Each structure stands twice: as C-alpha cells, then as structure tokens.
Structure 1
C-alpha cells in the first residue's frame, strides 16, 4: 500500500515510477487531482469487499427420469450453480452437457451494510445422452463449480416411453391419453387435484400399475382408482409397499379405461410429484434359493408376473465375487426390465432344506457356519434343524428373509436336548431374527422356524446360519462432499460399525490426496466408534476438485484388515475470511472437572464480523461454553466440563474414559450466506475420576414459624452470635443421602463438608467410610433463615495416590417457607 511519504515523492517529481522511461509533463500537472486519485485508490484497497464462498447446492432435477437410448433435455435447479463447469454422472453410459445457464437475479448497493437476495434459483439446462445399454434404475447427478461439487440428486433411467402429465386433467372426460406401456411423470399440484389418464387395453392383459412417490422423495400419499370408460369403479388401491400405491388388474374386455391419481388426504403442491409405470410389466416376486456361495454354480427358481416364461436361471458366482447382497433384474423377450431383486453372496458352504422337517424328530442336520436355504411352504409350515454344540460355545444364529425381499416374518426358537425352550427371537433387523447365545451345556439343540402369522408359500424363503462370531468392521463418512480453503483445514467426521464384537483399534488415512493437501492420521480406540479427521490445504494448493477415499486399517489375530469408504469429492477453494488456531496440541479433562481451550482468530482481508464458536467431536456428557468472538476481538477461551446432570434428581453422568478427537468450528454470515471454518483437530483425553457424588433428594423444603419481631431476652455476658446460638433451636430437620460412585480401584474414606451454607442451616458431621458408598446427613434449619431459596452443595475430600482430590455434589435446593 502507498504511504504518505510516497505520495509526497510523486507530487514533487516529474518522472514515472518506471526505471526505463521518463515522462515530462508539457503543462502544469493538476497535483491536487493526482493526490485525490491516489487517496481514493488507497481507500479502495482498504475496503475490498469480503464475499462468501458459496457452496453449490442442487435442489431439483426435472424431469426426474428418461428412457434409455434417447437424448433428452433436463433442468437442474439450485443455489450457486451460475458458474457450473461440468455435470458428473454416476454412469459412463450417461453423458451430460451444459447447454444454458440461467442465473439468479442479484441486487447491488452503492454503500456497505446492505445485502439483498432475490428468492429464485439458478437453473441449468442440460442435455443428457442416455446410452441404449445404460442400466435401468437410479443414477446420481452432481454439478461442479469453482466453489465445489454439489450434493447428489437421483435421475432414473427407464426402459419405458416417458410421458409428462398435461394439466388440466381432473375428470374422465379430460383425461390425458397414453399408449401402453409407459411411465407417467406427474404432480398433484394443488390440494384436491386429481390426475386422470386414459388408455386402451386388450382382454386378458395382466396390467401392473406401479406408482413411485414416497420412495423417490415425494410427499404424495397416493391412491389409485381404475374406471371403465363409463365411470364404473373397477379397482382401487391406496397403499402397498412404503405407502406407494400399486394395482394389479386383469383386463376383462377390449376397450378404453381410465386411471386416476390423487392424494389420500387431498393434499397437493410441487412436492407431491410421482412416477407411474403402466403395462404388462415384468415383476420378480421371489427366488429360491435366496443366495449362494462364491465360486459355485446355482440353479435359481424365479416366481413372478409377466416374466414371459422365465421361471429359472443358471447362476455362476465367481470366486472373486464380493461378499454381500447384489441386485439383479430380469429383461424379458420384449425388452422390458423387471424390478430389482436382491441376491446374497457368501463364503460359507450352503445346503437346501429337505422336507419333511416339520416336526422335531425329523430335523435336518445343520453344521456350524453352514447356510441352509429353506422355505416356509405351505401356510403354518414349521421347519426344524438340529445342531451339535459344545459347552460354553457361543454362536450367532441368524435368519435372513426380510432383507432379501421374502415375505416371511420369522420366529426362531432354540430348544435344549431335553426339549425345553432356551431362547427365542422375532424382530432383530426388520422382521429378521438374530440370536447371540452362549450354550451352557453340550448336546444336540433344535432350531424351530415359523411365520409369526402362520402364513407361507413360494415367497416365504429364508437363509439360516449358526456360526461363531467373526469380528469385523465397516467405515463410513458423514458427507461425501468437502471443501477446504487454502491456508486452512476442513473436518471429516468418521463412523465405525463394529461387527460381532470387533474390539481392535483402527487407523484412519486418506488415499489419493493431491499435492499440497495433507490429512491427519487418526486412531480410533477399541472402545470408540467415532472420530474426526482433518484435511489441510497449503497456500499454494491447486484450486480444483478431486475424489479421495478414506481408508481404515486394523489387525486381528495377525491378519491385516482394510476397509474403505465411498468416494469423497474434495474441492480446494481460495483463502477464507478467517482462520482458527488452537494454542493446545492436546488437552486433558478429568471426569467432573473443567479444562480450557485457548483459540486465536486470524482475520483475513477486511473481515471484522463476529464468529460463533462451537466444539465438535465432543464425547457424550462433555459440555462446552461455545462463546462468540465479537467484532474487534481475535481471541477466545472455551471451557469444557466433564460432567452432565440428567433428570429432575440431577443425577451426574460423566463421559467415558478415553482419547477423542475434537475441533473448534467457527461460523459467521457474509452476504446472507453461512461461512464456517474449523481448527485442526486435537486430542481430548478423558481421565477417570476416583468418585462422583449424588444427593437425594436434591430439593428439600422447611416450613418455619413466622418470625416474632419482638426483641428476645438478652443473657448477660454473651456476645451477639452466642446469644443467637444459645436461644435458637432447630425448627426443622431433614435427612439427605450422599451417594458416592467409586471408579477404578478407589476404596478410601471420603470426608464430607458443606459448601455455600447460609447462617441458620447446618449439617451433621458424617463421612463416607472406607469401602462404603453412602452417608446420611442431617440438615438442620434454624429460625433466623430468611424466607427464600438457597443453593448449597456437599463437598467430598479424599487422598488418591497420595494426592488430594475434591469432588462436589450437584446443587441441593433448600426452600424456606413460613
């Protein structure tokens, strides 16, 4: 920036600032204008406008779907899409090209302190080229801008012609005409709106009317009604799976028919959209078996509708096929695709149920870890299996049906060798049963399976396995879009799902990081399932986006285990208006006590606004003060307290002992848009307190007589305080119990003493003795107490490992009533 001395030099010189050129002014130069121009230039530098770095947000996709082997135009609406450079699709067989950008109108002011926003959305017109081999189903779209990658919204690829509803069409006479098969994209636009569609059908056609609304994010609670051309009601359905309506209808005569769509409660609006597929649509209802072993050959029976003679398939499962559930579709001879249906792939040996096995004496044999594929058929069928177990053997007995689209709502019971019921289970995951049991004695146990409602049939298949626990884990991230500013960091929350008692530490790292981007290496301890990980960008990091992956590594019995997250879209953007730095590299917090964090706010450019602070990643029952750094200030102290009080009784709850990763987040608003920055993560170590104190009750009332305002008789020779003590006896007493919760190996004596007791309230001198957990204290109230409410505590003192330790009870409320 130019200084005053530089202005004077310029004002007294006829030379330019360039070292190789001389400028001679032929006429007297107007130096007063020059000085004014320089001043305004300097003022402009010092008042550079701070703007929010808006994150792109995708709100809607219209239309929501397109037929494969077509080229269509869609509209993407959202916020901060005006500088979009690219559309990302989850399939290489869908190519998206931005054709037009409609920017949201803006308002600018000549001065400062005013910000206006017009409540419209940016809109992108996008050309989609859908390949003929593009998989039918849901795909994801994202928008890329210089400020980041947007959230994902779904786009559906179908194999049916797409038709968009044309309003008005509330009556049979005004119904839209469609040709079958087709998928209708419609909206119940207003309360009471009805959409009508007319179609021609042949006798004996088995039509399926399949509506999707709630399942694709709509608010429509749909009801479908089929009419004859004369208005006679032929069929109706309001709910099926997931509240979306579905009708199957066999055409009894050639002719025109009308289908109407409406909301069950007569609601409507832009969010009441739907997709309705109509035709002789192929539908898979059931398969058997429901899964297979990797590396095996399988014959799978199919049950369904409109499958054009398809009733089985030969399935080869590669030895390298991923373990888990995969989805499949059947494409019939008329090139129509069925619904998705799940198939389970496992690494265990598999067998098929052998009938009859509907009584215990005819049980099929089942080996540990073996998977049996069974069927509850017909109704009221029972299936029995026998398994030999050892004393103290722990097995996980798991039945999978609901998760594989079976209609079975199974009840699993286990009987001991004497025929006595040991344990049973109904719904553990959905309507599937899971039993984790340690068998007390050796012998042959029997497993019984039945449907809770006594139903059965070809659609009531299941997979049953009794296996030892196989500890494992999965890792996931809370978000798949991240933005990091140069010279700053961003925080990635990570979750761990521990399976079958997995209790090992897990190390986190980030793969595929671009140059000048670094990530912290974090270890999630055995007792924890959450952690924070920070990614930092150098001041020279390239302003661009990339995809990275979170990797989680552990070891179990000498075997290295690696699990990975879904891809994460990471964008580097320019420097933020402020940066947060913690003075501490780590902090220790003793349960029930307090600790402090010291934070520095580094303001960039011309930012002077307030920043609201909060601590993220805190374990349960740690409370933070969360202050605000106001304008003109750049520092803050945050208090952490390692105790919480719950319920009316103020029962103290402390955080679990361990090491946690935390960060301080700071938020402000610029141009009506939120701006958030985070400090790098530090370790919060929670240490165990030797004991905590609880009081019961925590509210105690004393009813005292009305004070006598007359002067009491004085006793000669006593001071004023002695006069009160001598003349006043307790007018009320109460017992309050102090309970100590001991932790670790602490068993010593706890000395109790009063805190904040007023004159006129006393407590008996009782301590919690060695090895004991409570003491009953007598509270005594005297007449000189004022008519008011007092807040007091009881303090506990003890020697722990040669050091004094002090702990206080929750506040005890003393109410004085006259």
Structure 2
C-alpha cells in the first residue's frame, strides 16, 4: 500500500473556503432579508476573548475578559453548573472548575449593564497547562513545554511570533495540535517546526478547518522548536490559542461513518497510537519523518440510546462518547468536546469541527454498512461493482490514488429518491464527485449511460446570518423507468492521493412526505452576535432559521416553551418560502432585571391549525423539534465571511428601557388581536398598517419604520413618523408572484438620538437605535379577484352624505362566486369609531364583474382624512374568506 499522507490534504481547506464563500455570496443575493438600513448602535455587551481560555478539572484559574460594552460585568454564565465564579477585579474573575465538570468545551458568557454577551468557548482539559512566557518572539526566548501538556498563548499583534521548545526522542511520534478556530478565536494559525540543528523541518496550516495539526517522528533526540504565527499577519488580544503537545492516541476516521442509537456497531478506526489490537497499514518511511505509519483498529461499541446520549459511557472503558441529536463523538484519550451541531436525519450544518471522531446519526430504518472492495467498476457493465438495495446508508473511502467506487442497485419507475453524498459534513477531507448512471444488464460489454450529475448543496436561506453552504451534494431523482442503475464516485483530487481517511457517505432515501426540517436561532443581523437583551417595557428581536429538506415545503410554527420572568413572546409561523422568521420578545415594565434561558420548539402541525388556517398545512404527521441555539461567532461588516456555530443555550437579559417603543396593527387582518381566525389576504393586495410610536421624554427624532422582505418578490416599504407625530401608515404591497402561505414578520423602526454612557457628558454623539414592532401574521392566498376603483385618486365624502364608488372586478382562477365589497378600517386611527360612522357594503353576484359601493358618513363623523382606510373585496373560497385589499384616499368634509 502506498503510504498515505499523514495529514488530511491541505487543498480541501482552501477549496472549501472558496466554494463556501461563492455559495454564500450567491445565497445572500437571493435570500429574503430585512432591508438595508443603519445598524443599531445601542450598546450590547460583546465578548471577544477569555484569557486564558481553559483550565484543568478541579483547578482554579484567574481569567480576564476582552470585548466591548462590558461595563458593569459582575458575573459569568456557564453552560454547565459545575463552575464557581468569583469577581476579583474589573473584567477579572477567578474560575474554579468542579471535579464533576465534563472534559471538553463549554460556553461562557458575561453579564453586565448592557446585557448578556455572546458565548466564548472555555475548555476543561485533561493535560497540564501553562501560559506562554513573553517575550518569546525568537528561538532563543522559546517557552519550554513538557510532553503531554498544553501551552496557552496569544498572537497579540500582527507581527507577533510565539516560539516553544520541547524535548523529543528519536522515532517516538509527537503530535502538535493548535486550537484557535475551534475555541472561537479568529487566529488563522500556522505551525512551523525546527530541528535540533535549527533548520526548518515542516510547516502546516488548515488541517482541521483553519487550525493546524502536525504529526512528526523525530529523526534525532534533542530539543525541537515550534513557531506559531498568523498566516494573514493579524493579531490582537482576541487571537488566542491552545497548543497541545502529546504522544497519545489520535482518531482520524472510522468506517462505517454513521450509526444508529442503542445498537452495537462494529467500527474500523484509523489513526495513530490506537492501542491494543491496532495494526499498521503501511511501513514507516525512514526518510519521511512527517508521515508516521497509519494504524487501524477494529472495535465493537454499544452506542447510547437516543433518549439518553449526553455524556453517556460506552461499553469499552477506554472509550467515551458524548452525542446530541445528530450523532456521537468518540475519543480514545478521554478528552471529549461538545456535541455535533445538527438534528436527527438532518446533519446540514457543520459549523465547528471537533477532535473526537464524529459518527453521523443514521435513520432508524437504514442499516449503516461499509463499502466492500473491489468495486472500482470499469468501462464495461460486467466490471466488479458493489451491489446494494435501496434505501441505503453506505460509507467508504478513496483508499488509493485513482480509486473509484461504484454502487449498483435496482429502481422502479416513478419512485422518488433523495441522494446525498457527504464528506464535509462527516469531517472528511475528501472531495467526492459522482454521477448517476443507467446499466443495461442485457449488454454487459457496453458502458454505463450517464443520467445526472448533482449540484452542490447551496446555502439554505439564512445567508450570512447562519452560513450553511456546503460542497456536499444532494440530488432529487425521479426514476425514469424500471431498471438497473449505479452511482460512480471519485475524488476530485484522486489522481494525486489515496487514503482510508478520505471518506464518503452515500445516503439514498425515499421521498415519503415526512416533515423533514431543523430550526436554529439566528441573529437579527449578519453584523451582530446572538445575544438578546430586552429593554424593560420594550421589545427585542431575534430570528429562527428553518431548514427544510427531503421535499418538505410546509409551514413551521415556532413557540417559546420557556422564557425569563416577565418576558413574553408570541408564536410565529415560517411560511413555505420563509427560511428566516422573526421572534419578538417583550418585557414588562416591571420585569426583573435578570438573565434567564429561552427554549423554543418548532412544529409542522399545531393545535387548532385547521380551524385557524384551514388547508394551510402540509399533509402528513406533524413533527416537533427543539430549536437549536446558536449564532455568529465573529460578525463582520463583510457578511459572507462570518462564522457561526451552535451553542448550549439561548439566554436573554432584561435591562433598562430604550428611548422608543413602536407597534403596528392590524396584527392579524380581519381578526382580533389574539383570537381569530384572521382574514386571508389575496396576493396582489396592498395592505395598510397603522404604526404607533411612543418616544421617551426629551426625544424628538423622526422614526423610520421599514418592512422586511419575508418572502421572495416582496418589495420593501417604509414610512417616516415625524418628530411631532406619534402615528403613521405603512402600505405593504404584496405582489401577485409572492408564494401563498402562512407568514409571520415584523417591522423595524430606526431613530437617531444623542447618547453617551456618561449621563453627565456635556456632548452626546448621535447613535442609531433600532426597535421592532410586535410580530404580525398573514395568511396569503391566491387571488380569485382583483379590484379597480372609479373614481380613482383622492375622494371626498360629506358628513351625513353618501359617496358612490364603482368597483370593477377581474375574476381569476375560474372563480364564479359572489364578492362582497366593504370598507376595512383596521389601520385607521380609531377603527371602532370609523366602523360606526362610515358604513356601506355591496354584494356583487357571481355572474357580474361590476358593482357600486355606496359609502355613508354619519352626521357626527369627524372631519378630515382617514389615513389607513382600505376597501376589501371578500370572496369565499373552499370555506375560507379571502380579501383583496386596496387602500383608499378618503376625506370627510363638512
């Protein structure tokens, strides 16, 4: 066997970054999002660094925080209760790690005057730790590090170089792994190794994501130097890292690549130092100290059940695993990390790679299997391939240069299959490319006929707020005819490499109509963190990103099942084309100034759905899933380059009020504020909303209220409420090419105010403040009529008089029923008063396309314009009242 490269090929990191950037840029251009507007400059506590970022179990360490808007930080919030915290100075805390705290990575947040911060990783390690000794910019000043220890350092400025010295024994393998990206640091590190003679021996970069890992077999006894630098020549107090030096076991890969919970799985592990029962896969090369021989080890593991996977011990004492709803993490040295961020059957978000081996969670109905060689196929249909039966969950590897894996199966006409080939999402450096082919068994000497080549899996709708683009491929395949088919897989760099760690996973599942989706918390903007700080007596907004798959395109309802004291949040619905849905959290004026967790559930079916929204939900059995917390780790003004990950919790802080409160109505057109059902609105309508504002004392600034594009083809709309007014009307156009469905959305209001953290400051600079309205709800339906009015333009109606308006209907979608034309006062300043003083209604029969509406104004009707007034043409379709709405410019005159 050709000796495999020790480190996963470095080309993948670069290729993936370029591909992910390109896909994300394209997705951002196509993703509905709030309109471009000024970013909020209201203070929000942000955490950029924790120094040092780790400690050993049972020890104490003093940490210093870095970030912005950290005034008044008096406590830390961990994702595990086993940490004790004592404040020792401003932004300095003594942390004591309990002996029961699991090894691995935990979330740490700070809590202060300006709310709760985003999380930063705090690692609990098993190996002794030391802090770099500055200055160590030169080889002569290198910080000594013993074997099996961790050095904690910082690239504090762009020109900074850190050097460490360690003693190594000839032919005894040493592993150097640097953790930066994996612990939320922006450091893009490189490791460079120098031998005892001072000559450079090796340099690595981008091994696990951007983090480098170097394995060496020292050619001589002696002292070796390792240099740490940032390859982009960046540096700051936030560019910190953990440098782990060890000679312990390393797991790189396993086959099969997936497993089912609660079952015994037979794995073949690939890596280094795998212990008893391991076997070398190639002979050591004395001339290549950078390629220790790869080992394999076979193991049987009893995986924890799906209902109890957190920190569950496996049957083999030397192995431990932790897992979440997407899979399991297996480690040989007892140092485990956080669960993989995904959900059952939906491992679509690979945001942070982890050191322990990741086993993907297989569907219960699929038995994971490994490829069987030889299966390279060839120019003839009779060449050796692997046969399989659909559905399947099959994993393999490109083990030698030029390796080709061919999987053959039968399929029946009109069956619909979803085919996924995963590599990036199972932490593999492979770049699989595959083609679907047709085989004619009657002509075994004929080559296969190509049918389809899959596209990359594009970003799933959250754009820069939750980057989820992947170079893994997905294809929906409708079988054209009964027959024999095959998938031929190759590595895009296969001519230059081959390695058992170049794994792929092929999953083929039928389209069953199941409600397949996952939901994640996303920040309100690509330039902010995930933290939510709610002003007392006011509102704050966050978003949920809904990822649908396997053909599911239905509505998903998001509901809070746990909230901090004094905080409320209305349920919202993500429509069929809506991947980002807002959640607005409102705190009572007397809500405790405290921090508490938020837990959210996402459901594809909910109580009374057919009563409230008949016919609006996808057929099939409903599914409820937990909304997974998470957010951006490093927001950036250049959104495509943001980084996101899941977190252990979604907390919120209640703090002092903001300078304005904004609301909008109607929340549900045609229905009450909470009861309904709401009136369905026809696409093509223009729907007016009454905007009501309340400014704090001393604030006299215009408030610009803008809509968000919650569905494709929906244009932005806005209204400005002048400083001397408190109300305005926003007319929301709903073009006829918007996809019908249930939608929730909110308006965002922006005002500019003078502000300083120093309340006694003589001069206060202007800042932008953004506040949301409550969430609003629309049930959009296809239009069965459109409406044109005569006379058009401004109308006048005398008090005590009447006004005739001619209505011209255009019927659509074969609708031939009656239509009722009537005023719609929902968005006027006083809907109840308008309804009493302005009356009129006309029913246009099913065989007519015209009618005359006579409006009557009571003698006591108040004089003046009626902004927000609309006329609606209401038709009943399949038992549902659907309204086509147009604003009308009407003035009551003497």
Question: TM-score, length-normalised on structure 2?
Answer: 0.62
2:359 matched to 1:343?
A: yes
Q: Distance in 2 between matches of 1:250 and 1:515?
A: 58
- For structure 1, which segment, 276-285 or 388-397, has the greater mean C-alpha deviation from structure 2 after superposition? 276-285
> SS of the residue aligned with 2:140?
helix
2:213 matched to 1:280?
A: no
What is the aligned partner in structure 1 of residue 160 from structure 2? 193
Q: Distance in 1 between matches of 2:375 and 2:723?
A: 78
Q: Distance in 2 between matches of 1:458 and 1:377?
A: 5
Q: Residues 354, 682 of structure 1: CA spacing in aligned structure 2 closer, same or farther, 3 A cutoff?
A: closer
What is the aligned partner in structure 2 of residue 535 from structure 1? 585
Q: CA deviation at 1:71?
A: 1.1
What is the aligned partner in structure 1 of residue 732 from structure 2? 640
Q: Distance in 1 between matches of 2:84 and 2:105?
A: 16
What is the aligned partner in structure 2 of residue 572 from structure 1? 654
More strand by share: 1
Q: Distance in 2 between matches of 1:308 and 1:539?
A: 61
Q: Residues 484, 223 of structure 1: CA spacing in aligned structure 2 closer, same or farther, 3 A cutoff?
A: closer
What is the aligned partner in structure 2 of residue 523 from structure 1? 573
Q: Distance in 1 between matches of 2:223 and 2:588?
A: 68
2:492 matched to 1:452?
A: yes
Q: CA deviation at 1:92?
A: 3.1
Q: Residues 305, 415 of structure 1: CA spacing in aligned structure 2 closer, same or farther, 3 A cutoff?
A: same
What is the aligned partner in structure 2 of residue 791 from structure 1? none
Q: Residues 631, 431 of structure 1: CA spacing in aligned structure 2 closer, same or farther, 3 A cutoff?
A: closer
1:384-533 alignment runs, 5 A limit: 384-418=406-440, 419-425=448-454, 427-428=456-457, 430-454=470-494, 455-470=497-512, 471=514, 472-479=516-523, 481-513=531-563, 517-533=567-583
2:80 matched to 1:91?
A: yes
For these two proteins, the number of residue pairs brought into alignment is 619
Q: CA deviation at 1:663?
A: 2.5
2:374 matched to 1:356?
A: yes
> SS of the residue aligned with 1:559?
coil
Q: CA deviation at 1:289?
A: 1.9
What is the aligned partner in structure 1 of residue 773 from structure 2? 679
1:775-786 alignment runs, 5 A limit: none
Contact 1:688 1:743 in 2 (8 A): no
Q: Identify the structure with bigger relative contact order (alpha carbons < 8 Å, sequence gap 6+).
A: 2
> SS of the residue aligned with 1:560?
coil
Q: Distance in 2 between matches of 1:400 and 1:637?
A: 50
Correspondent of 1:619 among 665, 688, 711: 711
Contact 1:57 1:79 in 2 (8 A): yes
Q: Deviations over 1:597-646 (max 9, x none)?
A: 33222234444444343334643444445344444332233343456xxx
- For structure 1, which segment, 412-421 or 266-275, has the greater mean C-alpha deviation from structure 2 after superposition? 266-275
Contact 1:512 1:549 in 2 (8 A): yes
Q: CA deviation at 1:206?
A: 1.1
Q: CA deviation at 1:438?
A: 0.8
Q: Distance in 1 between matches of 2:359 and 2:545?
A: 27
Correspondent of 1:582 among 637, 645, 664: 664
Q: Distance in 1 between matches of 2:569 and 2:211?
A: 44
Cα RMSD between the aligned structures? 3.8
Contact 2:120 2:184 in 1 (8 A): no
Contact 1:213 1:274 in 2 (8 A): yes
What is the aligned partner in structure 1 of residue 218 from structure 2? 251
What is the aligned partner in structure 2 of residue 128 from structure 1? 95
Q: CA deviation at 1:73?
A: 0.7
> SS of the residue aligned with 2:209?
helix
Q: Distance in 1 between matches of 2:885 and 2:78?
A: 61
Q: Distance in 2 between matches of 1:806 and 1:251?
A: 78
Q: Residues 196, 295 of structure 1: CA spacing in aligned structure 2 closer, same or farther, 3 A cutoff?
A: closer
Q: Deviations over 1:203-250 (max 9, x none)?
A: 222112222345545454434332234422333335544343333222
Q: Residues 620, 398 of structure 1: CA spacing in aligned structure 2 closer, same or farther, 3 A cutoff?
A: closer
Q: Distance in 1 between matches of 2:738 and 2:661?
A: 30
Q: Residues 163, 743 of structure 1: CA spacing in aligned structure 2 closer, same or farther, 3 A cutoff?
A: farther
Q: Distance in 1 between matches of 2:159 and 2:535?
A: 49
Q: Distance in 1 between matches of 2:568 and 2:160?
A: 55
Correspondent of 1:58 among 47, 54, 77: 47
Q: Distance in 2 between matches of 1:404 and 1:437?
A: 23
Q: Distance in 2 between matches of 1:558 and 1:590?
A: 26
Q: CA deviation at 1:420?
A: 1.9
Contact 1:388 1:445 in 2 (8 A): yes
> SS of the residue aligned with 1:379?
coil
Q: CA deviation at 1:280?
A: 1.7
Contact 2:704 2:719 in 1 (8 A): yes
> SS of the residue aligned with 1:242?
coil
Contact 2:568 2:585 in 1 (8 A): yes
Correspondent of 2:195 among 214, 218, 228: 228
> SS of the residue aligned with 1:320?
coil
Contact 1:390 1:443 in 2 (8 A): yes
Q: Residues 457, 439 of structure 1: CA spacing in aligned structure 2 closer, same or farther, 3 A cutoff?
A: same
1:329-340 alignment runs, 5 A limit: 329-331=331-333, 339-340=355-356
> SS of the residue aligned with 1:602?
strand
Q: Give the number of the structure whose alpha-carbon radius of gyration is greater.
A: 1
What is the aligned partner in structure 2 of residue 789 from structure 1? none
Contact 2:359 2:426 in 1 (8 A): yes
2:748 matched to 1:665?
A: yes
What is the aligned partner in structure 2 of residue 261 from structure 1? 228
Correspondent of 2:143 among 163, 176, 186: 176
Contact 1:624 1:638 in 2 (8 A): no
Q: Distance in 2 between matches of 1:426 and 1:599?
A: 45
What is the aligned partner in structure 1 of residue 328 from structure 2? 326
Contact 1:508 1:553 in 2 (8 A): yes
Q: Residues 217, 621 of structure 1: CA spacing in aligned structure 2 closer, same or farther, 3 A cutoff?
A: same
Q: Residues 391, 606 of structure 1: CA spacing in aligned structure 2 closer, same or farther, 3 A cutoff?
A: same
Q: CA deviation at 1:349?
A: 2.2
Contact 1:624 1:639 in 2 (8 A): no
Q: Distance in 2 between matches of 1:495 and 1:568?
A: 14
Contact 1:516 1:540 in 2 (8 A): yes
Contact 2:413 2:479 in 1 (8 A): yes
Q: Distance in 2 between matches of 1:293 and 1:625?
A: 49
What is the aligned partner in structure 1 of residue 287 from structure 2? none
1:676-755 alignment runs, 5 A limit: 676-684=770-778, 745=813
What is the aligned partner in structure 2 of residue 314 from structure 1? 300
Q: Residues 55, 382 of structure 1: CA spacing in aligned structure 2 closer, same or farther, 3 A cutoff?
A: closer
> SS of the residue aligned with 2:425?
helix
What is the aligned partner in structure 2 of residue 152 from structure 1? 119
Q: Distance in 2 between matches of 1:193 and 1:663?
A: 47
- For structure 1, which segment, 549-558 or 436-445, has the greater mean C-alpha deviation from structure 2 after superposition? 549-558
Q: Residues 138, 621 of structure 1: CA spacing in aligned structure 2 closer, same or farther, 3 A cutoff?
A: same
> SS of the residue aligned with 2:747?
strand
1:1-150 alignment runs, 5 A limit: 54-93=43-82, 95-102=83-90, 124-132=91-99, 134-145=101-112, 148-150=115-117
Q: Residues 806, 531 of structure 1: CA spacing in aligned structure 2 closer, same or farther, 3 A cutoff?
A: closer
Q: Distance in 2 between matches of 1:499 and 1:180?
A: 47
Q: Which runs of 5+ in 1 are unaligned?
A: 1-51, 103-123, 644-652, 693-741, 748-798, 808-818
Q: Distance in 2 between matches of 1:223 and 1:678?
A: 44
What is the aligned partner in structure 2 of residue 787 from structure 1? none
Q: Distance in 2 between matches of 1:324 and 1:268?
A: 35
Q: Distance in 2 between matches of 1:628 and 1:298?
A: 63
1:199-238 alignment runs, 5 A limit: 199-238=166-205
Q: CA deviation at 1:306?
A: 3.1
1:551-570 alignment runs, 5 A limit: 551-555=601-605, 558-566=620-628, 567-570=649-652
Q: CA deviation at 1:744?
A: 5.7
Q: CA deviation at 1:80?
A: 4.6
